[in-house]
């Protein structure tokens, strides 16, 4: 009987699929990710289910849309009672471990992980709760602003570099420990980096990888504010963004640093692959590489995420295990919701535990094992955070993308003929049948008015709780990694020769 595979789940943060060579980018320098693509299954049209960090991650882990579990924004409580695919894998005998960011909000900072090697880079409390009762232009201090773009460039060290260096070190060390451990269980190690998320700063080594002329060759003039759709205008306002106020050089610097950060993550992927090879665990390890969402990088005159345009919503998804799956490219639309059933199926030696009601059940295993192209359900996504005044929805079927929010004119793009999403086809007679079909999907799937009421009520509750918790003695929820120094290196209750022998690989 085939053994349960180890699973190495690697996440980048804010990495658009369109910034990688495996997805057609002409300048990206990512040889290790390219190696995964060359030897794995590449899902060319994979999408996040919410273009914001915490909602996307909670949705991916649970196989449910953010609205199903209350994961509305970057400070929404992630209920401990909601099963994740990590819970399922642990139930099926896996040793589960997290190194890095997962942006869990609330007192549960594990959600199925048996071990967590680092703290998170972002706070675990409700301080970043959105507030749709405030005017859109009334900014909180934690909103994005354009300093990340105007200050972009090379640096020697940064907050994010400190974090990712710790993530990488702890993950590599854990893999070596796993290879020397007598624990017979297979593992699922999640390694989640914070690059290439803004701020757009990276070390000189990676800055120098990219020729300014190559970056300049991709430059597109920003769309003036008055020509943006209504939701994009709101996003621009909360980011203090006037696209025309940025100089061409500032835009190029930010993009150059972003690509440098992409290459930095590629080297971190290389370190993990090298460690698997050195430990002899590569042949029985499935590697999944993805991101929580992308980055607009000035496309459509926008930066960061929070929209359903391709640079923001389309993510890399590569699953590589040459001993198990043959290389191929899948063109069907999929989303991060598909990862829950896929990983549970992958780790099952027998039929997996019954899925909880509401969890996506559309596994990608047929694409991986049989090389079959299946008809896939429409990809759906939501945005329920800052920059919106009501729930925003996306439905993608075939190559037609429909974006709807109750106060705004709808958007419809034919990605097959218009990959840059320049022409809004909503209201065009030739596309009326498609538009009606996708609008019906929105109406059938969501109770828009009730969801808006739920979001606003939840925002107000969390803001009150946060304000109360900040009074007097504050007990934080942030994860505190624990190390037992008495069990590390050489100690007098351990036999020297036995210890040295057991730690030699």
Residues that are catalytic: 53, 103
Task: Decide if 317 contacts 290 (C-beta within 8 A).
Answer: yes
CA angle at 2 for the pair 187 and 339, rounded to the nearest 5°: 50
Tell me the two tokens of residue 71: 């994961």
**Residues forming beta bridges with residue 329, ordered by sequence position:** 42
Residue 474's alpha-carbon distances to 125, 151, 409, 439, in angstroms, are 11, 33, 44, 46
Q: Which H, E and C letters describe 129-171, residue by residue?
A: CCCCCCCCCCCCCCCCCCHHHHCCEECCCCHHHHHHHHHHHHH
Q: Going by C-beta distance under 8 Å and a sequence separation of 6 or more, which residues neighbour residue 82?
A: 62, 64, 69
Q: How far is CA 293 from the centre of its chain?
A: 5
Tell me the two tokens of residue 492: 């007098």
Distance of alpha carbon 407 from alpha carbon 393, whole angstroms: 12
Residue 285's alpha-carbon distances to 37, 278, 328, 343, in angstroms, are 15, 13, 18, 12
φ, ψ (nearest 5 deg) of residue 200: -85, 75
Q: Going by C-beta distance under 8 Å and a sequence separation of 6 or more, which residues neighbour residue 371?
A: 326, 328
Q: Going by C-beta distance under 8 Å and a sequence separation of 6 or more, which residues neighbour residue 249?
A: none
CB atoms within 10 A of CB 62: 27
Q: Going by C-beta distance under 8 Å and a sequence separation of 6 or more, which residues neighbour residue 473?
A: none
Distance of alpha carbon 30 from alpha carbon 10, whole angstroms: 15
Tell me the two tokens of residue 130: 């959105």
**Residues forming beta bridges with residue 314, ordered by sequence position:** 47
CA angle at 14 for the pair 90 and 209, rounded to the nearest 5°: 115
Distance of alpha carbon 206 from alpha carbon 209, whole angstroms: 5
């Amino acid at each position: 009987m085939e053994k349960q595979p180890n699973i190495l789940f690697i996440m980048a943060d804010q990495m658009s699929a369109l910034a990688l060579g495996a997805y057609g980018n002409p300048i990206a320098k990512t040889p290790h990710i390219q190696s995964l693509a060359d030897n794995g299954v590449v899902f060319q049209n994979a999408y996040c289910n919410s273009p914001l960090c915490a909602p996307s991650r909670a949705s991916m882990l649970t196989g449910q849309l953010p609205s199903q579990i209350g994961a509305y924004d970057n400070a929404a409580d992630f209920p401990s009672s909601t099963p994740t695919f990590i819970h399922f894998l642990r139930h099926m005998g896996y040793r589960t471990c997290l190194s890095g960011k997962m942006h869990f909000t609330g007192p549960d900072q594990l959600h199925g992980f048996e071990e967590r090697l680092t703290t998170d880079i972002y706070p675990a409390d409700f301080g970043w709760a959105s507030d749709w009762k405030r005017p859109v232009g009334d900014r909180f201090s934690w909103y994005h602003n354009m300093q990340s773009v105007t200050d972009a460039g090379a640096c020697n060290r940064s907050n994010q570099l400190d974090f990712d260096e710790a993530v990488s070190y702890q993950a590599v060390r854990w893999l070596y420990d796993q290879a020397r451990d007598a624990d017979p269980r297979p593992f699922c190690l999640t390694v989640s980096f914070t690059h290439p998320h803004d701020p757009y700063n990276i070390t000189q080594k990676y800055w120098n990888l990219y020729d300014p002329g190559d970056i300049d060759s991709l430059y597109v003039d920003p769309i003036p504010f008055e020509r943006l759709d209504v939701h994009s205008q709101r996003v621009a306002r909360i980011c203090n963004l006037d696209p025309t106020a940025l100089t061409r050089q500032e835009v190029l610097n930010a993009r150059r640093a972003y690509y440098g950060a992409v290459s930095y993550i590629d080297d971190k992927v290389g370190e993990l692959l090298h460690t698997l090879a050195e430990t002899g665990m590569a042949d029985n390890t499935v590697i999944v590489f993805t991101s929580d969402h992308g980055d607009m990088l000035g496309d459509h005159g926008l930066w960061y995420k929070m929209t359903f345009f391709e640079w923001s919503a389309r993510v890399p998804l590569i699953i590589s295990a040459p001993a198990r799956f043959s290389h191929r490219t899948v063109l069907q639309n999929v989303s991060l919701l598909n990862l829950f059933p896929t990983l549970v199926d992958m780790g099952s030696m027998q039929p997996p535990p019954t899925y909880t009601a509401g969890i996506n059940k559309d596994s990608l295993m047929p694409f991986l094992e049989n090389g079959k192209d299946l008809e896939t359900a429409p990809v759906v996504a939501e945005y329920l955070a800052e920059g919106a005044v009501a729930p925003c929805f996306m439905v993608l079927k075939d190559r037609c993308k429909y974006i709807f929010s109750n106060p705004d004119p709808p958007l419809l793009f034919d990605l097959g003929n218009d990959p840059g999403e320049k022409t809004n086809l909503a209201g065009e007679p030739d596309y009326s049948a498609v538009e009606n079909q996708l609008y019906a999907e929105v109406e059938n799937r969501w109770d828009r008015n009730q969801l808006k009421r739920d979001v606003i009520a939840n925002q107000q509750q969390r803001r009150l709780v946060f304000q109360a918790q900040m009074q007097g003695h504050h007990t934080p929820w942030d994860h505190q990694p624990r190390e037992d120094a008495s069990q590390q290196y050489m100690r007098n209750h351990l036999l020297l020769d036995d210890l040295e022998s057991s730690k030699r690989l």
